[in-house]
């Protein structure tokens, strides 16, 4: 995996590197290998979340990023954190979890906690149902276990017609709610041709983190379906895959992958996006005794 620096005003590439290194306590170094990397901030520090094959299936990992200024490179410390979902079985990939910082008393800047905050790192395991999990350390170094702490579900009145909604960007706090961009795959041009689209949604800033607004239609731009650009794959015409975003007072800037080839920046009118999201209602499916983020385990119960 590599990375690049962009000019925030023009989004031009300032410089790029072809690799992120893993440094072992024994001083050997190797490249960090994985797919779908996303940068997120936790307590003002940079982290990377990604997936990587373990045997047949992809598993979720995350690690803190450090910057070596003399060598002008990012690196992580071995081993990265492998997060296994509760009751996980090897029948599906584990990827596209959405990280976010929760801290009622912290200061946020551009949706991110500042350095030395006391935020709790949470992940959204799935959007429908909206399953919030927290990762806990185990007795094995680098191995963590994610447990459900809140579970809510959109009422059936809301329908998204473009396949299962899956994670995309890390969620950022925007006032009294969090915002995240998701992706899904459905059929636009033909029932036998797949298309990847993206949407946005907001959820409450406090537990149980229920979804409050959703995109009613995919967020689209004519450049997404430019035939001269070529198809992504045989049987898949176009792919739009949101990876991260930032914002200012007027605009939201979304980084996304296009057809698994290029990285692009989408500039959205902030008020226009918010107005496009449809208010939705949710019901609570499960809660825990989650009050103090320092508790090492929680008692979760499903509601009937």
Measure Cα distances from 254 to 29, 72, 178, 243, 263 in Å.
33, 26, 15, 7, 10
Owner of token pair 């590439």: 13
For residue 195, what pLDDT is reported?
A: 87
Output DSSP code: residue 17. Answer: E
Instruction: Please name the residue that has the structure tokens 């329908």.
Output: 159
For residue 303, the 8-state DSSP code is -
pLDDT of 176 = 94
Beta bridge mates, 62: 49, 81
pLDDT tens-digit series, residues 244-286: 999 999 999 999 988 888 888 999 999 999 999 999 999 999 8
**Positive/negative CA dihedral, 8, 13, 15, 20:** positive
Q: Kindly report the number of other CB atoms within 10 A of residue 230's CB atom.
A: 10
CA 111, CA 100: separation in Å to the nearest integer? Answer: 10
Element (H, E) at 5: strand 3-6
Q: What residues form DSSP beta bridges with 112?
A: 109
pLDDT of residue 93: 85
Measured CA to CA, the distance from residue 257 to residue 241 in angstroms comes to: 5
Strands 120-126 and 236-238: unpaired
pLDDT at site 75 = 92
Helices (H), 125-280: 270-276
Report pLDDT for 57. 87
Q: State the pairing for strand pair 193-204/282-288.
A: unpaired
Report helix, strand or coil for 265.
Answer: strand
Cα–Cα distance, 131 to 123 (Å, whole number): 8
CA 131 to CA 81: how far, in whole Å? 20
Of residues 253, 243, 258, the one with CA closest to residue 96: 243
Q: In 3-state terms, the chain is what percent helix, strand and coil (to 5)?
A: 5, 55, 40
Q: Which two tokens stand for residue 170?
A: 């890390």
Q: Token digits for 32?
A: 């960090």
Q: Which two tokens stand for residue 275?
A: 């107005």
Count of residues in the chain: 304
Q: 10 Å Cβ neighbour count for 153?
A: 16
115 SS3 class: coil
Greatest C-alpha distance within the chain: 58
Distances (CA, A) of 3 to 47, 48, 164, 249: 13, 11, 29, 27
Q: What is the pLDDT along the chain (304 residues), one digit of tens a residue?
A: 888 889 988 889 998 888 888 887 666 778 888 989 999 999 999 999 999 987 788 999 999 999 988 888 899 998 899 999 987 766 678 889 999 999 998 989 989 998 888 999 999 999 999 999 999 999 888 899 999 999 999 999 999 999 999 999 999 999 999 999 999 998 776 777 888 999 999 999 999 999 999 999 999 877 776 666 777 788 888 888 999 999 999 999 999 988 888 888 999 999 999 999 999 999 999 888 775 455 455 667 666 5
What is the distance of C-alpha 148 from the center of its chain? 17
Give me 125's structure tokens: 């395991």
């Amino acid at each position: 995996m590599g990375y690049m620096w962009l000019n925030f005003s023009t989004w031009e590439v300032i410089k790029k590197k072809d690799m992120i290194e893993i440094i072992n306590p024994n001083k050997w170094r190797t490249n960090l290998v994985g797919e779908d990397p996303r940068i997120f901030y936790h307590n003002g520090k940079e982290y990377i979340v990604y997936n990587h094959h373990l045997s047949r299936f992809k598993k979720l990992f995350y690690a803190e990023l450090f910057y070596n200024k003399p060598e002008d490179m990012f690196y992580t410390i071995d081993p990265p954190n492998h997060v296994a979902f509760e009751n996980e079985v090897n029948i599906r990939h584990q990827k596209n979890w959405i990280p976010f910082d929760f801290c009622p008393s912290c200061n946020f800047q551009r949706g991110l906690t500042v350095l030395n905050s006391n935020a709790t790192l949470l992940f959204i395991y799935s959007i429908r149902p909206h399953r919030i999990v927290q990762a806990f350390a185990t007795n094995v170094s680098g191995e963590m276990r994610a447990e459900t702490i809140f579970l809510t579900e959109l009422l059936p009145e809301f329908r998204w017609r473009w396949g299962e909604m899956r994670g995309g960007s890390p969620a950022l706090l925007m006032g009294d709610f969090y915002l995240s961009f998701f992706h899904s795959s459905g059929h636009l041009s033909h029932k036998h041709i797949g298309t990847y689209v993206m949407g946005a949604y907001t959820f409450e800033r406090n537990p149980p983190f229920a979804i409050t607004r959703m995109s009613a239609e995919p967020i689209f731009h004519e450049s997404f379906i430019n035939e001269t650009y070529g198809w992504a794959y045989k049987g898949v015409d176009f792919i739009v895959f949101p990876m991260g975003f930032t914002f200012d007072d007027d605009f939201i800037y979304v980084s996304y992958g296009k057809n698994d080839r290029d990285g692009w920046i989408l500039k959205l009118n902030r008020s226009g996006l918010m107005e496009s999201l449809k208010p939705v209602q949710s019901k609570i499916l499960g809660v825990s005794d989650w009050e103090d983020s320092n508790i090492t385990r929680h008692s979760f119960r499903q509601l009937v």
